[in-house]
Structure formats: structure tokens, C-alpha cells
Amino acid sequence: MVEVSNEDEFEEWLKGQNQPVHIAIATRAALRSFPVAIVAIADKKEQLHTKTLSLLTGRAILTSAVVCNAPTDDVKAAARSSADSITDYTVFPVNDSIFSVISAAASAASAADSTANYAKFAISAAISTTDSASRLASFSDANIIDLDITTNLLQSPLWRNGKFDGIFKVTWDKFVDEILPNAPEFNFWRDWYQGFLDGKPLDWNLQREVALIPDADWDKGPAHIADMIEEIKAQFLADKAPLAEKLELNPETGKFFVTPIPARKPDLLNTTLEKTADALDDALNGRNGLSADDRVARVLRRCFEKYTHNPERIEMDFVDVHAGLTRQMASGELADSEEILSLAEVLKNGALDIRANHSDIAANRETRAAQALQELTPEQKQQLKDAQPILEAITEGEVLQDMGADIPALINDMIGPVPDYAPPVGPAVRVVNRAAKMSLMMRMKDFDIKLVEKCGYKSLEIFGALLAVIGIGLGVFGLF
């Protein structure tokens, strides 16, 4: 364990480290100063200039962080471009504090792309600030050499030794409380920075997609980049919460609907449904604590009546009901009788059979299983409740029916017997996947936005509802 307490010791220590360490040190140093740059957008003079400078500063730091995580050639090239662009932009006059921040950001990006002398960039980033607390924090980063310093640093709270206070805390609070409400194009950067403050960075693959946005787009300013990031988030969520179905727009009604990808062996699917129906009837004998009005019975009956053509929906509902039965048996709400255990076993085997004969559904389940669903907050539940009438207004058929059932299932605290639980997978996946795909379709150049406005809501209201659901989805699936 090395103890670094001053600039000379820090510089000497850095000289003995490799490039990944230098990039991590430089990145964290630049991150600590980032609030000074982001709050510069409050400057009423040359506002577009200051907003763009804040954006490019964020880009440089984000890109260097992504290089720390995955130093691929394309991300290194993006780091070089981000360093060049921020350096070029400093021809505009800025005060000393802001200049020190953008110098740190450029140094971090340069360290990420450099093939030599990268230690000097790390030193430059760490000492470019005039704030002593920031320097001491950089020195303390040198004192946590464990198994993998780059991983440990990036996953550690930004201010590990001491509170986040002083000028950086003041400016960050000002940005969040006073500036951001009037500058929504910087919403992503708030979430991105908060992740590093907490030691819980946003999903690295998502950050990588942002880092690889082409130079020509960054030149178009913060609003354009904000739109691109929203599109990236929607596509990212659609991929993380996949469904074996095709989302389409009815040109006559202006409403969205889905066409399921059919089962390859429909006879097997029908047999599975028949077995499950028999097992449910056996369990509803009045002795097990299960009634026809319980969610278990309602969900399964919908499968038998409405979704016989939709193997993915059946698989998801089987998994959700199986999880519900398991929770209820564990709490004693349901008896672990032969009939209940048999129903649970039929559900499990039915889901496995569907996956075995439908590779898309198996791949989707594997993708979703890798995501740890997070509990919804009261604020997120209210957002879903507010979005529901809009989502129902722009959908038809099965999607409309699902919105009316899935959103209440997500915001209902009584699904499970315990107060803290993850949302049911099926409803969560359906709501967020479809919202993400609708958002992507509406962003296509040839999409006629007037079609969906037939529903009675303006496009801004529709996008607002979709973006709210996408944001919730990213949080639920542990990506934000």
C-alpha cells in the first residue's frame, strides 16, 4: 500500500504506473471538476457557446471513462477526437476555473488515446484544478492499489475520503436545482455524473454507444445530442428487454399494434396450454387457498383465451405466475399442496418447452435473466400511472389490452406478500419494450407524426410519456 500525500509523491508514483492507471486517475480528476464546467451554461452571455463547451467537456470525460472500461480502437479514436474538439473550442474566452476543468477533460481524453507520455496527461488532469480538496482526492486515489485499480477506482464513489462539498458541491447543486429545469438537454449528464458520484456508473455499454456518436453530430450542439442519446437509450432498452414480436402502426387508425412471431410447433404449444388448464382446475378445489379471482388464475385464463397464438407471451406469463406461486407458498398464503406444487411444476416445464422449441424466446429469456430488476419507486409508479392513458390512446388490439393490465400490475403493491419485490418480469418487459420501439418508430424520418396525433394527444405529450417509461425501464433493468 502506497501513501501519497503531496504533488511530488503523486508524480513519482504515477511514473511507475501503466496506462490504464493513468487514464483512471485522469478521468476521476476531471470528473471531480466537471460541475464547474456544467454550471457554466448559466452564463447568459454567449449561452450557446457555453452550453457547447459544457457538452464537449462531458464528452471528453465520458469517452476517457469508457476507454478505462474497454480500451478498444474505436473508443480510443473517439477519445482523440473529443480531446481535439475541446481543445479547438477553447479559442473562445473562458475564465480560469472553467479553463482548468476543460484542460483536465482534454488531458483525460489525451491519456486515453496516447501511446506515450500518458503519465503527463494524468498529472496534468490531477493538478490542473486550483482546489486543494480535488488534488487531495486525486492523491488518495493512488492509495487504493488492490486487485484491479482501474476497476476499483471507477466503481468507487468519486469522493471516497471525505464529503462531496465545497465549490464542486455548490456548483453541482446549482446545476441540478436551478439550471437543469431550464436546460433539459443536459438531463443525461446529470444521471451520468450522479452515477460516478455514487460509485455506480451507468451501464458501460450504454456509455460506449454515447462515446461513439460521430463528431459531426457533436458539432450540432446539446439539443441534437440529447435527441441522439434518447434514441440510443430507447434502442438499448429494446435490446435489453426483447420480445418475439413485430411492432407496427395501423395507417388508418394511427395506432400501434403487434404481430407475434408464431410458434414453430403449435401442437406442442396447445398441449402445454391444455396441461396447464387442467392443473389450474385441480388447484382451484377450495382447499389450497387459491381462488378464481386471484391474479394467478386471471393471468393463466388470459393465456388460454387470448394468447394461444403468442408463445412468448405464454412463456412470460408462465414464469411470472410460477414466481408468484413460489412467493405465496413461501409466505404461507398458499398451501404447498400436491395440486399447487403440480401447477408450479407444469408452469416451469411449459416455459422450458417453449424455450426449447423457440430459439428467439430462449435468447430473450437469457438476456432478461442477466438483468436484475429493481424495485419501482413511488415516483416511478406515479409516472407510469400518468403515462397509462396516453399509451392506451395510441395503441390497439393486444397492445391496448396489455397496457390496461400490465401497468396496473407494475404499480400494484399487492402482487406479492412481501413489501420489497422486483416488478413482475412479463409486464415490465412488455411495457418498456413497446414504449422503446414506439419512440424509435416515431423518430424515423419518414414517420408521419400527425397519424398518432389522431388519438387526441400532441406529439410532445406522447413523446413525454414514452420517454418517462423508457427512463423507468432503464432503472428497473438496472441500466441507469
Tens of pLDDT, residue by residue over 153-173, are 788 888 866 567 777 888 899
Instruction: Please tell me the predicted confidence (pLDDT) of residue 161.
Output: 60
Could you tell me where the DSSP H helices lie in 90-212? 96-113, 118-127, 132-141, 149-154, 166-174, 187-198, 204-211
Q: Report percent pLDDT > 70 for the chain.
A: 81
Q: Look up residue 415 and give its three cell numbers.
A: 402482487
Instruction: Please tell me the predicted confidence (pLDDT) of residue 225.
Output: 95
Kindly provide the residue ranges of all beta strands, DSSP E only, lying in 339-379, ordered along the sequence: none
Indicate the pLDDT class of residue 382, thresholds 50, 70 and 90: very high
Q: Which of 411, 399, 443, 447 is nearest to 243 (CA)?
A: 399
Instruction: Please tell me the predicted confidence (pLDDT) of residue 128.
Output: 55
3-state SS assignment for residue 356: helix
* C-alpha separations of 37 from 43, 59, 94, 400 in Å: 11, 12, 10, 45
Instruction: Please tell me the predicted confidence (pLDDT) of residue 404.
Output: 93
Instruction: Please tell me the predicted confidence (pLDDT) of residue 48.
Output: 59
Q: What is the mean pLDDT of residues 334-356?
A: 90
Say what angle helices 132-141 and 118-127 make with each other, to 10 degrees.
140
Do the beta carbons of residue 38 and residue 58 sit within 8 Å?
yes
Q: What is the mean pLDDT of residues 132-152?
A: 62
Instruction: Please tell me the predicted confidence (pLDDT) of residue 72.
Output: 87
Indicate the pLDDT class of residue 407, thresholds 50, 70 and 90: very high
Instruction: Please tell me the predicted confidence (pLDDT) of residue 92.
Output: 45
CA angle 91, 97, 100 (to 5 degrees): 65
Do the beta carbons of residue 112 and residue 23 sit within 8 Å?
yes
Indicate the pLDDT class of residue 93, thresholds 50, 70 and 90: very low
Average pLDDT across the chain, whole number: 82
Indicate the pLDDT class of residue 437, thresholds 50, 70 and 90: very high
Do the beta carbons of residue 26 and residue 121 sit within 8 Å?
yes
Instruction: Please tell me the predicted confidence (pLDDT) of residue 189.
Output: 95
Do the beta carbons of residue 272 and residue 317 sit within 8 Å?
no
* C-alpha separations of 219 from 51, 79, 80, 223, 430 in Å: 12, 15, 15, 11, 36
Q: How far apart are CA 237 and CA 259, in angstroms?
A: 20
Task: Decide if pLDDT at 457 tops 50.
Answer: yes
Tens of pLDDT, residue by residue over 236-293, are 999 888 888 899 999 999 999 999 877 666 777 888 899 999 999 999 988 888 888 8
Q: Look up residue 400 and give its three cell numbers.
A: 391496448
Instruction: Please tell me the predicted confidence (pLDDT) of residue 465.
Output: 96
Task: Decide if pLDDT at 26 tops 90.
Answer: no
Instruction: Please tell me the predicted confidence (pLDDT) of residue 462.
Output: 96
Task: Decide if pLDDT at 98 tops 60.
Answer: no
Instruction: Please tell me the predicted confidence (pLDDT) of residue 422.
Output: 64
Tens of pLDDT, residue by residue over 31-79, are 888 887 787 765 545 465 677 878 888 888 898 889 888 888 898 888 8
Task: Decide if pLDDT at 150 tops 60.
Answer: no
Tens of pLDDT, residue by residue over 302-315, are 889 888 888 888 99
Could you tell me where the DSSP H helices lie in 199-265? 204-211, 215-218, 222-240
Task: Decide if pLDDT at 213 tops 90.
Answer: yes
Task: Decide if pLDDT at 207 tops 90.
Answer: yes
Indicate the pLDDT class of residue 414, thresholds 50, 70 and 90: very low
Question: For the chain, how far is it from start to end, CA to CA, in angstroms?
Answer: 33
Q: How far apart are CA 65 and CA 480, in angstroms?
A: 16
**How many Cα atoms are found within 13 Å in the side-chain-facing hemisphere of 270?**
3
- Ramachandran area for residue 245 (φ above 0: left; ψ -120 to 50: alpha; else beta): beta
